[in-house]
């Protein structure tokens, strides 16, 4: 059995890879690891537990709550809320840990468990390793010490979290959104109710919503940040100023301008970086991106005299760099944007609100703001059904990458990496011309299939 924790918690097909037994066992293990580390010393521990609307989240939530309560942890069940809302409430309520059940942008059959430390921050790798070791050591024989009587955890619903989180979002905005016409795609996920309500309270007119009727089975199904075609059409049909698309757990946000053109995470970061620099809130005059950031983003930041730090792919690595170095803005091309002054993780609703606030404050169309950077043609191919563990050890694949890099020269680049959250290998090629980027990417994808298949 491989490592359970990936770059974003534990994920897999619900009731196959991610079972109720695993969810319960990991929750008991987390309680013991954090308790042994002294996190609960001197008080009854409290956990905030939330989920996205997936049908499997219902039984997995029950398993997590059972595991925590059986370990003496009191549980506040906040129900269906975005991941950043659970993170915020974990900090705001002074809870000892938070748990979010979601597989983000993954298809409905998948689900995941993400543990959050006190304050709503992601757990350190060594804590995740300790939880996994504790689980493997004790889950099979049930040899954990368990409290009895009044020492068992108590469980109650915390319905106030919905309004508490929205109030926080609206309070941190630099200006209201009065006069803006907005379309919102909630991906039939955790943002389906939250995001339209937050925009309305901030003064925007939400002229249309998509992906706003979750039934447990339709999350990310043809909607959301991975399927923005319907959002483009809706923005044009309703003559909106902009459209915003979230993913299943609402830690991402992509946008569409009034002309139906996509505004990706790199462009959003560029717009926010310039606005924050003007407001004096861009700490150390630096924005954090990843190695997947478009070269056009890097060039735009150079023109604006804003420093860019690039990390490995994954919002956890962006966040680590931000926390270690005191930066206030970072994110990924996929729409994970972290505004560390107001959130401990990527927050799609907050990102959308801040982007809209910039449009409202400048009175410039989103397209004009996004034109600060020119996206170089970039092709991403996800290659499934291959052994992603051999990406870095295959000499044949390394030779294919070297040949591609030699062909592109200084006008482009290649990035080939195993996904940290899905069983596939990602091939990314950037070039001055779209046709060349496509051809090189397809050639490398074929090489991955040949040598890793």
Q: Can you tell me the distance from the alpha carbon of 187 to that of 66, in angstroms, rounded to the nearest whole number? A: 29
Q: Can you tell me the distance from the alpha carbon of 362 to that of 33, in angstroms, rounded to the nearest whole number? A: 49
Is 104 labeled as ligand-binding?
A: yes
Is 215 labeled as ligand-binding?
A: no
For strands 181-185 and 242-245, give the pairing: parallel
Q: Can you tell me the distance from the alpha carbon of 306 to that of 301, in angstroms, rounded to the nearest whole number? A: 5
CB distance 47 to 61 below 8 Å:
no
Residue found by looking up tokens 């941190």 in the block:
172
The single-letter DSSP state of residue 409 is G
Q: Respond yes or no: is residue 305 known to be catalytic.
A: no
Is 178 labeled as ligand-binding?
A: no
Q: Where are the alpha helices (DSSP H) in 283-340?
A: 295-303, 315-325
Is 249 labeled as ligand-binding?
A: yes
**Active-site choice (27, 56, 71, 104):** 104
DSSP, collapsed to helix, strand or coil, labels residue 329 as strand
CA-CA distances (angstroms) from residue 117 to 31, 97, 157, 233, 289? 11, 5, 20, 41, 24
Its sign, for the CA torsion 222, 223, 228, 232, is positive
CB distance 25 to 67 below 8 Å:
yes
Count Cβ atoms within 10 A of the Cβ of residue 1 and give its class: 0-12 exposed, 13-18 middle, 19 or more buried. Answer: exposed
Nearest to 84 by CA among 48, 137, 126, 108: 48
Residue positions forming the annotated binding site for Mg(2+): 104, 247, 249, 251
Residue positions forming the annotated binding site: 104, 247, 249, 251
Catalytic residues: 104
């Amino acid at each position: 059995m491989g490592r359970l924790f990936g770059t974003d918690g534990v994920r897999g097909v619900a009731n196959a890879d991610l079972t109720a037994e695993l969810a319960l066992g990991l929750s008991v293990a987390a309680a013991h690891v954090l308790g042994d580390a002294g996190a609960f010393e001197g008080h009854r521990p409290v956990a905030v537990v939330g989920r996205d609307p997936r049908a499997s989240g219902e039984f997995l939530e029950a398993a997590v709550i059972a595991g925590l309560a059986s370990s003496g942890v009191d549980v506040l069940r906040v129900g269906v809320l975005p991941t950043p809302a659970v993170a915020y409430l974990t900090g705001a309520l002074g809870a000892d840990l938070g748990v979010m059940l979601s597989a983000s942008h993954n298809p409905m059959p998948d689900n995941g468990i993400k543990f959050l430390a006190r304050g709503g921050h992601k757990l350190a790798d060594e804590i995740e390793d300790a939880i996994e070791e504790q689980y493997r050591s004790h889950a099979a024989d049930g040899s954990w010490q368990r409290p009895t009587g009044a020492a068992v955890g108590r469980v109650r619903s915390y319905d106030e979290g919905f309004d508490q989180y929205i109030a926080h979002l609206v309070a941190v905005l630099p200006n209201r959104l009065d006069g803006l016409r907005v379309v919102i795609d909630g991906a039939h996920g955790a943002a389906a109710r939250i995001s339209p309500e937050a925009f309305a309270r901030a003064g925007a007119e939400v002229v249309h919503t998509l992906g706003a009727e979750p039934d447990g089975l339709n999350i990310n199904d043809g909607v959301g940040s991975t399927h923005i075609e319907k959002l483009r059409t809706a923005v044009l049909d309703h003559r909106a100023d902009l459209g915003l698309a979230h993913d299943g757990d609402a830690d991402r946000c992509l946008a569409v301008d009034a002309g139906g053109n996509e505004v990706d995470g790199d462009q959003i970061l560029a717009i926010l970086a310039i606005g924050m620099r003007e407001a004096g809130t861009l700490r150390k005059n630096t924005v954090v991106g990843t190695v997947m950031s478009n070269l056009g983003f890097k060039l735009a930041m150079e023109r604006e005299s804003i420093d860019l730090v690039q990390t490995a792919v994954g919002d956890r690595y962006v966040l680590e760099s931000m926390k270690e170095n005191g930066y206030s803005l970072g994110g990924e091309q996929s729409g994970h944007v972290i505004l560390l002054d107001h959130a401990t993780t990527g927050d799609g609703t907050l990102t959308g609100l801040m982007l809209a606030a910039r449009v409202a404050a400048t009175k410039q169309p989103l397209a004009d703001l996004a034109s600060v950077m020119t996206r170089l043609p970039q092709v991403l191919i996800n290659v499934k059904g291959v052994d992603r563990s051999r990406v870095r050890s295959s000499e044949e694949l390394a030779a294919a990458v070297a040949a591609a890099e030699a062909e592109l020269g200084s006008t482009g680049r290649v990035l080939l990496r195993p996904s940290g959250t899905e069983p596939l290998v990602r091939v990314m090629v950037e070039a001055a011309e779209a046709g060349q980027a496509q051809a090189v990417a397809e050639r490398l994808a074929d090489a991955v299939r040949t040598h890793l298949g």
